[in-house]
């Protein structure tokens, strides 16, 4: 087989790989549009690495955290202003793997500009298709390595009690929370009707602040850790030239998963099922690039934190699997 035939076969294989990879990348991007969408972020104090009990609203299990400042075996760091992601993977531009990936991609692009290319056997393959494929492959490899590292270093979720083991159910009432029935085995921290009203209000306020890119409001309504994640995501949207618009948020059902007190602070984890309209538009033209004007139903698990004398704040969002 001649060199040109081998090269042609390799290019066809790369084209097939690209056609398979791009839909996945686009799907991940679309799923991550709304606030907290597609990922789990934040901290639940000392219970960060324990699964919250399932409820009738969210009978499945909660996903492990993709982003958290809490380390296994250490208390939650809700007072930390900025999360630190050092070590092997580091932050957005730090860490061993981040440096290797950046150097790998930079060397590849430099080589392409001067006739080398990331894949040495391709010679002068410097087309746009080659550039896109190299970027996709690098991102794919980095994501796989990060997922492997996270699975290796994070303990498995501990199984929590079922909702029948003393957890109160609150659903299908006014605004989504209702039926404040008593329980013979009440949770350590009693959550009152006013607290549920605060949770529902925060659901709408945080979504609205995200849609308006109101960083000040997000900082008031969420812990410093969560606010830092939101700001980072908003910066990434700005770099892409898009804005995520969320509207019509309506709570359909909500259940208390667990409530507790630690280190002088109150925690409440609730399962929320709500509808909203979620779309991402170009800043310049207003053209819809992701999502639509059709309402969609979402189920997530939100954890709220309250310090003595202060209001509730969002401390974590977890997806349901």
What are the residues facing 106 on neighbouring strands?
Answer: none
Note the pLDDT tens digit of each residue in 6-25: 555 555 555 444 444 444 43
pLDDT at position 4 over 60? no
pLDDT value at residue 1 = 53
> If you classify domain 36-72+159-319 with CATH, what class do you get?
alpha beta
Note the pLDDT tens digit of each residue in 167-218: 344 443 335 664 333 333 445 799 999 999 999 999 999 999 999 999 999 9
The predicted model scores a pTM of 0.62
Q: What average pLDDT does the structure give for the chain? A: 74
pLDDT value at residue 104 = 45
Beta 288-291 vs 242-262: how paired, if at all? unpaired
The CA–CA distances, whole Å, from 246 to 8, 59, 250, 281, 295 equal 46, 26, 11, 11, 10
Q: Phi, psi (5° rounding) for residue 279? A: -145, 150
Question: Residue 307 contacts by C-beta under 8 Å, 6 or more apart in sequence?
Answer: 264, 265, 266
What are the residues facing 39 on neighbouring strands?
Answer: none
Nearest in space to 38 (alpha carbons), one of 305, 314, 249, 296:
296
What average pLDDT does this structure show over 236-244? Answer: 96
Nearest in space to 279 (alpha carbons), one of 228, 243, 314:
243
What are the residues facing 297 on neighbouring strands?
Answer: 275
Query: CB count, 10 Å around CB of 66?
Result: 16
User: Taking the domains of the chain in order of start, what are their residue ranges?
Assistant: 3-20+90-153, 36-72+159-319
Sign of CA dihedral 90, 96, 100, 103: positive
CA distance 311 to 313: 6
CA distance 105 to 259: 46
pLDDT at position 49 over 70? yes
**In the structure encoding, which two tokens stand for residue 82, read together?**
């900025």
Name the 3-class secondary structure at 62.
Answer: strand
CA distance 254 to 303: 12
CB 257 within 8 A of CB 272: no
CA distance 29 to 290: 9
């Amino acid at each position: 087989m001649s060199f040109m035939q081998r090269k042609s076969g390799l290019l066809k294989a790369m084209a097939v790989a690209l056609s398979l990879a791009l839909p996945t990348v686009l799907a991940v991007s679309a799923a991550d549009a709304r606030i907290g969408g597609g990922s789990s972020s934040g901290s639940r104090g000392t219970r960060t690495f324990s699964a919250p009990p399932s409820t009738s609203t969210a009978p499945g299990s909660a996903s492990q955290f993709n982003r958290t400042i809490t380390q296994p075996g250490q208390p939650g760091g809700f007072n930390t202003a900025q999360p630190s992601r050092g070590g092997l993977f580091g932050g957005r531009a730090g860490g061993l793997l981040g440096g290797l990936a950046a150097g790998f991609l930079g060397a590849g692009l430099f080589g392409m500009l001067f006739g080398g290319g990331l894949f040495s056997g391709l010679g002068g393959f410097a087309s746009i298709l080659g550039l896109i494929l190299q970027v996709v492959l690098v991102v794919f490899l980095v994501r796989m390595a990060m997922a492997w590292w996270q699975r290796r270093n994070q303990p498995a979720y501990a199984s929590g009690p079922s909702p029948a083991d003393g957890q109160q159910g609150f659903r299908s009432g006014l605004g989504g929370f209702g039926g404040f029935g008593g329980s013979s085995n009440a949770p350590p921290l009693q959550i009152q009707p006013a607290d549920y009203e605060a949770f529902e209000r925060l659901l709408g306020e945080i979504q609205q602040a995200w849609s308006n890119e109101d960083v000040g409001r997000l900082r008031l309504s969420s812990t410093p850790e969560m606010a830092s994640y939101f700001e980072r995501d908003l910066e990434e949207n700005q770099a892409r030239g898009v804005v995520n618009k969320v509207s019509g948020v309506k709570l359909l059902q909500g259940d208390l998963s667990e409530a507790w007190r630690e280190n002088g602070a109150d925690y409440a984890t609730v399962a929320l099922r709500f509808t909203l309209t979620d779309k991402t538009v170009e800043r310049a033209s207003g053209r819809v690039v992701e999502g639509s004007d059709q309402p969609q139903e979402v189920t997530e698990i939100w954890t709220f934190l309250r310090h003595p004398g202060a209001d509730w704040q969002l401390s974590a969002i977890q997806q349901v699997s």
